[in-house]
């Protein structure tokens, strides 16, 4: 039994899942605390701020993460150093630009904006700087398949944020500004931890080359659209809601996003392990292997999330009360619509990843831009006709349906793939996972 348990703990899919589970657990816990210690309006403003930061972070991550994984993973030591050095050089340039723009925004625009935007603009750029070493370490460790170390990075950041929130509450110093300072502090603590553990590879910056920097840029510039699209869609939804319905409605709309953490845990874990598999098959020119991998991952994840979705649909109201408070029950209908939409997420997500790994990142980029535009149009029109956050949830469902149809059409043009194979290969892989779990349990 011990050997089987150790084997499971060494499995990269399990470690990737564990890292996401740890992150999601702490995120849900901090979310549950924040909705109780902040007012409804302050919490809505906090959601807007973190969404703004996430977009900036996703742009940086989208440009570099996939490139680091593709060109660093399996490369010889000299090439790996050049790739890491070039990635550090580009990421520093982007981050410095964020800091400068943030400061310019603070002095030029903030005086014309209401609270709390002057505070947010002052700290946005600094936050991207504080989080850079932590994020870069995660990219390198993922490229090296060292998912166990990524778990510790997530514990250090999320855990320290919880501790700092507890300190604020204990001393009666809870405010939107102090929560922001605590968040920045947690990023700094985690980044210092990564630097001390020498996981960042920052010393490789001396090996940077213009050639590798351009290679990373060319590969990542279109992937940005894929990675940032979901954040931009959520951000667009929040902007529509805050402008047309008010910040309190933004707070309500954040509830289904936390329910989706359960689905995102599974999705992110399998996407992290699917990228190298799809990339290797695509690099060999083996389109059949790409199609099988796409069907296997998509089908497996869909089968895995369905029981969670059914459970959350049945217990939506009790879960909202546990997660937030009774005055957030107005989000019940939105949560259920979002849960139903989530059944389609694996098909859309793995379609995008597969297109990227096949060298069709430009197609995935166009698909995601269209998703963003359609979602904005649907959200504005539906909220104007039916002024309720349910309209925004329906807009999300409509753009996902479009994305799946368009993505499947493009994939069919480049390889022999069939939707029925999702269930065939997915069911095979699902049974393998279940048998492994049962063997460990009964050993």
Per the CB < 8 A criterion, the answer to whether 28 and 261 are in contact is: yes
Distance CA 266, CA 137 (A): 22
Characterize 261-300 residue by residue with b for buried, 16 or more Cβ atoms within 10 angstroms of its Cβ, and e for exposed: bbbbbbbbbbbbbbbbbbbbbbeeeeeebbbbbbbbbbbb
394: pLDDT strictly greater than 80: yes
391: pLDDT strictly greater than 50: yes
- Does the pTM surpass 0.75? The reply is no
Band of pLDDT at residue 186, cut at 50, 70 and 90: very high
Distance CA 339, CA 397 (A): 10
4: pLDDT strictly greater than 70: no
Distance CA 302, CA 422 (A): 9
- Could you identify the residue written with the tokens 């490789």? 204
Higher pLDDT, 432 or 253: 253
Cis preceding-peptide flag for 110 (omega within 30 of 0): no
- HSE-CB at 210 with a 13 A cutoff on CA atoms is 0
Q: What integer pLDDT is reported at residue 1 of this predicted model?
A: 45
- Could you identify the residue written with the tokens 């996972």? 433
Q: What is the pLDDT of residues 94-122, one digit of tens each?
A: 999 999 998 888 888 766 666 677 878 88
Q: What integer pLDDT is reported at residue 6 of this predicted model?
A: 45
């Amino acid at each position: 039994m011990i050997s089987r348990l150790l084997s499971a703990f060494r499995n990269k899919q399990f470690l990737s899942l564990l890292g996401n589970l740890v992150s999601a657990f702490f995120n849900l816990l901090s979310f549950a605390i924040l909705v109780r210690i902040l007012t409804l309006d302050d919490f809505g403003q906090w959601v807007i701020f973190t969404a703004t930061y996430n977009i900036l972070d996703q742009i940086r991550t989208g440009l570099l993460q996939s490139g680091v994984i593709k060109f660093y993973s399996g490369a010889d030591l000299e090439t790996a150093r050049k790739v890491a050095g070039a990635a550090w050089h580009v990421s520093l340039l982007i981050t410095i630009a964020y800091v400068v723009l943030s400061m310019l925004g603070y002095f030029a625009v903030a005086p014309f904006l209401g609270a709390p935007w002057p505070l947010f603009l002052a700290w946005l750029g600094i936050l991207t700087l504080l989080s850079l070493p932590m994020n870069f370490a995660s990219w390198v460790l993922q490229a090296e398949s060292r998912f166990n170390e990524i778990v510790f990075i997530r514990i250090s950041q999320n855990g320290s944020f919880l501790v700092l929130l507890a300190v604020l509450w204990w001393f009666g110093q809870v405010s939107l500004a102090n929560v922001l300072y605590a968040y920045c502090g947690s990023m700094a603590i985690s980044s210092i931890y990564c630097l001390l553990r020498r996981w960042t590879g920052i010393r490789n910056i001396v090996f940077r080359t213009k050639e590798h920097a351009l290679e990373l840029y060319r590969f990542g510039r279109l992937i940005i659209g894929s990675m940032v699209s979901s954040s931009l869609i959520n951000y667009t939804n929040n902007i529509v809601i805050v402008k047309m319905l008010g910040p309190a409605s933004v707070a309500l709309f954040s509830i289904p996003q936390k329910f989706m953490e359960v689905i995102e845990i599974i999705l992110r874990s399998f996407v992290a392990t699917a990228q190298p598999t799809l990339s290797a098959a695509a690099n060999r020119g083996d389109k059949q292997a790409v199609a099988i991998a796409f069907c296997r991952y998509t089908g497996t994840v869909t089968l895995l999330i369905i029981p969670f979705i059914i459970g959350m649909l049945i217990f939506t109201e009790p879960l909202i009360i546990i997660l937030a408070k009774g005055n957030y029950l107005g989000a019940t209908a939105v949560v259920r619509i979002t849960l139903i939409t989530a059944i389609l997420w694996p098909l859309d997500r793995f379609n995008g990843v597969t297109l990227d790994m096949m060298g069709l990142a430009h197609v995935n980029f166009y698909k995601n831009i269209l998703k963003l535009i359609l979602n904005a149009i649907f959200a504005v029109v539906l909220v104007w006709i039916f002024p309720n956050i349910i309209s925004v949830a329906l807009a999300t469902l409509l753009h996902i349906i479009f994305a799946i149809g368009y993505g499947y059409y493009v994939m069919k043009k480049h390889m022999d793939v069939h939707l029925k194979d999702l269930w065939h290969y997915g069911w095979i892989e699902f049974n393998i996972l279940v048998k492994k779990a049962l063997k460990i349990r009964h050993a």
